[in-house]
Structure 1
């Protein structure tokens, strides 16, 4: 049986607002993306995932959709979208769209109609509750801070919004709402779109009765609802219906964003025979540098313990092997830059960016590259909160500094480390004005290091992060063991070295990565046998005849051998 095409693929995520501006208004657009497709083809990726370009008031940068069948004017027209899709397909590239159906915008016609009367046929498209003792229906917190409920005074009821108050949650218990969702999915698939990335899809089924969340942060009035909104009792039923109505009728790729997912959820949702989606975005590995005890959610900073990363990644690799499929990522539009987060964005920027790419791309699963990752782009450190645009970041500042009286310097340090705007500064194309992103004033500031870190310079340098990523993608193309091989962790207790093997029949890969700036000695187990190691890729010059059973690694060194 032929393996599904998504297993061999590498996906590149484009954040349209920050990728390339074609008309000088400071906002990236569809024509700007089309103009840069040859760059993506040169990198070697197979699929482009486009963050939302639908009509939106832009409260949460497009994840609040007011018309699922229209293009936001800032990005262009439907004709521009069709031209982009045709240009992608002409180059053999596929297109994945964002599907945002846990919530809509409060400016969507459904919600506008729902607000007119409790008897509106659209009222039940959303989740409404009467006040409880004159206040919110429960103690749930919004992911963006504050309560997850807003009172609609004309009708005297609260509506649920697990994100911004301008993002009311859709009521998936309503079968008519579900049919509306399936219809809009078919609209884009019939246009020729090749799949969907499904935003917080594991939140569409909530706990029956919407009970209070356990009090885990006594100092805060609103509590994170956690398991009450993740993987609810009807999630499988809803996704099964979606698969029957839509997904099974097209040859497409599907990835579900699934906060708080476990490997068990991964198997349940992505099993080739009994599952519903091709893969999940799980969050365990990108939550490892957060300290929940600080009571700041993701903003509570702690250093990464490599043993934790090994345990988490190994569990997902082992448990999904042959039973599901992994998505592989270290960055996206919601995450800080990996070279700043898990590597060294100073002296060892190039080496650590290459190491992180090697580590990720040679695991089992479908790799995702976020725009600029292939250049080793770094976090930005804006001096003032006024320079930030992300609603989550701005809400944190207001709540932590103005309402809780926290030290502004401490809060700004967390923002520098974890703000979503780290990933949203403009793509750095060259060393000209605004990094070649726009001839106008960019909607958010350009990272000042663009003169050193940019695509033009990377393409001209054979030793760049870009060309290292290109070679990693070529290995996936040419070596079936990279795609299908079984994973095994080596040196599980080593605090600096992450080493693993991939095995398919008689073929085996050995991957060795130094996750620090030290020079640890790599000593392979005595019972680890191999013959004639062939170096496939490295981020330092390596003597072909050097001993690999015992050697000293250089800072952030990475090597991969075929044994």
Structure 2
């Protein structure tokens, strides 16, 4: 695991401080057999794109056997590849080709829950007396209620995917817990047999050669065994159970045990990152403190919740840049001496950043590259989500019939049934729905963007005729080549990986600026994240600095000031 960051130098720092991770969402990356679904051989065929980009690690979203109720995050066999993606032999070939190109491969670890078709759950629901009954969370109806009655659920918790978090199993007359989809029952981590079965599986993948794990909603694995009700949210009478399952103290014990059992004494340079909804910076310091031996870094959600309105994520509001600076700056400071940050705008659960925080029309290229510049030069490990390096945008869904994501479909069904304006519901889904991130990667201008020769499982964005990888490779000003330069800076300049961080212009509503410093080297990042020109004052010494990166032509730097064109980003060093 990591060394103490306060003592890290360019020669002793963990390898991942200067690394960049690329997330592959296999269903939408590349299809090799024409069935419209991306697969492992498609990924292998496109690895040279990632080598050309310069990334160090590939994070592979789930490719395990699955009924696909939640696009692979509902796993029915942790040690098998879903036939839609290929075979174990295809996986081994992909892994070998990744390693041959000097990159690492990290698997997605989804162990808060399984599929209801996993043999463990099939056994668990077969009888109250089955030895695996206690591998999941089962409870009888609430006192005074008959099974199946409204309000009979053991607690009032709501699911993240809408509706109650409990479903009745008719055969045994008890309810099982599922914080997500009804087909994703939660594992009972309080049972040591569950934990050691998971550790066995993790060791199996490490023995196969993988280089670590991204751990899905890992801070939810420790539940309060008393399962108390949560405060009523007012939505369908459901309650907020998060205080009773989100980042409880027991999760630290579980992760420390996992580290001992899975990574302890094992040679290799592994990466462990935990996705943690609702985690605070105080908690993240504990999770990522190297002395505690839990995780290398966490994914936090604070900055991607700032544009959620009173009605939640599907009620978006405009982003206030000052809120974003306060949030990211707080995490930079908090994890500056102990722990480590992960840096991201996009993933398979978030809408496209150029449509969300940028301008995907007039200033598409400028805003895509400005946002990339601001993110990548923070202290932390950057994550690039597939297509982000091309500036891919949200999709123009004509209606909910064109969407595929279970979260969006559930929300639309329940919200409209409750009397919400269908047009307003659709507006929220278009802006924030997860399908935006899942449209196929746009490789070229051919039909279906070169993703497949068949009919894609989710329609390709029509703008692929001009927004595609082939059009950007040889354009020095393209979004793709700007990402290449950013990644090269992290590899080449120790100040990017390890330098101290200081936020500047904290109250400016349009300009994002900060300094990085290390061993006498200073780096200034200044970006206009808006569509009107801005002039800001800077230290006069920067007027003679070297411009190491710019996204809008020649920089306009004068003694004591910098004039920024719309969506212009500059990186200076001295």
TM-score normalized by structure 2? 0.95
Q: Is the 8 A contact 1:207 1:233 kept in 2?
A: no
Aligned length: 555
Which residue does the alignment assign to 1:104? Answer: 114
Distance 1:354 1:169 in 2: 40
Q: Is the 8 A contact 1:350 1:376 kept in 2?
A: yes
Which residue does the alignment assign to 1:224? Answer: 240
Distance 1:332 1:467 in 2: 20
Q: How does 1:270-285 map to 2 (within 5 A)?
A: 270-285=288-303
The alignment's C-alpha RMSD in Å is 1.2
Distance apart, 1:298 and its partner CA: 1.4
Secondary structure, counterpart of 1:75 in structure 2: coil
CA deviations over 1:393-423 (Å, ceiling 9, x no partner): 000110111x212111111110111000000
Which residue does the alignment assign to 1:208? Answer: 225
Which residue does the alignment assign to 1:314? Answer: 329
Distance 2:45 2:555 in 1: 41
For the pair 1:487 / 2:504, whether they are aligned, the reply is no
Match for residue 449 of structure 1 among 459, 463, 486: 463
Q: How does 1:241-390 map to 2 (within 5 A)?
A: 241-248=257-264, 249=266, 250-291=268-309, 293-294=310-311, 297-390=312-405
Q: Is the 8 A contact 1:328 1:365 kept in 2?
A: yes
Distance 1:537 1:136 in 2: 57
Distance 1:312 1:228 in 2: 25
For the pair 1:553 / 2:564, whether they are aligned, the reply is yes
CA deviations over 1:504-533 (Å, ceiling 9, x no partner): 1200100001111011211126xx755731
Which residue does the alignment assign to 1:187? Answer: 204
Distance 1:106 1:551 in 2: 58
Secondary structure, counterpart of 2:231 in structure 1: coil
Secondary structure, counterpart of 1:246 in structure 2: helix
Match for residue 35 of structure 2 among 20, 25, 29: 25
Q: Is the 8 A contact 1:206 1:233 kept in 2?
A: no
Secondary structure, counterpart of 1:183 in structure 2: helix
Match for residue 522 of structure 1 among 511, 531, 536: 536
Which residue does the alignment assign to 2:100? Answer: 90
Q: Is the 8 A contact 2:440 2:459 kept in 1?
A: yes
Secondary structure, counterpart of 2:316 in structure 1: coil
CA deviations over 1:229-282 (Å, ceiling 9, x no partner): 111131111011001101233430000000001111111000122241000000
Distance apart, 1:206 and its partner CA: 1.2
Match for residue 153 of structure 1 among 141, 161, 170: 170
CA deviations over 1:66-99 (Å, ceiling 9, x no partner): 0000000000010000000000000001000000
Q: How does 1:477-516 map to 2 (within 5 A)?
A: 477-516=491-530
* Cα distance change, pair 368–400 in 1 and its aligned pair in 2 (3 A): same
Distance 1:198 1:74 in 2: 22
Which residue does the alignment assign to 2:3? Answer: none
Unpaired stretches in structure 2, ≥5 consecutive residues? 1-10, 146-151
Distance 1:252 1:504 in 2: 26
Distance 1:279 1:388 in 2: 32
Distance 2:520 2:41 in 1: 47
Structure 1 stretch 547-556 or stretch 98-107: which is displaced more? 547-556
Q: Is the 8 A contact 1:491 1:524 kept in 2?
A: no
Distance 1:272 1:114 in 2: 37
Q: Is the 8 A contact 2:543 2:559 kept in 1?
A: no
Which residue does the alignment assign to 2:73? Answer: 63
Distance 1:432 1:267 in 2: 47
Distance 2:252 2:54 in 1: 35
For the pair 1:468 / 2:482, whether they are aligned, the reply is yes
Unpaired stretches in structure 1, ≥5 consecutive residues? none
Q: Is the 8 A contact 1:142 1:224 kept in 2?
A: no
Distance apart, 1:541 and its partner CA: 1.0
* Cα distance change, pair 522–437 in 1 and its aligned pair in 2 (3 A): same
Distance apart, 1:227 and its partner CA: 2.0
* Cα distance change, pair 457–14 in 1 and its aligned pair in 2 (3 A): same
Which residue does the alignment assign to 1:534? Answer: 546
Distance 1:328 1:496 in 2: 21
TM-score normalized by structure 1? 0.97
Secondary structure, counterpart of 1:283 in structure 2: coil
Distance apart, 1:486 and its partner CA: 0.5
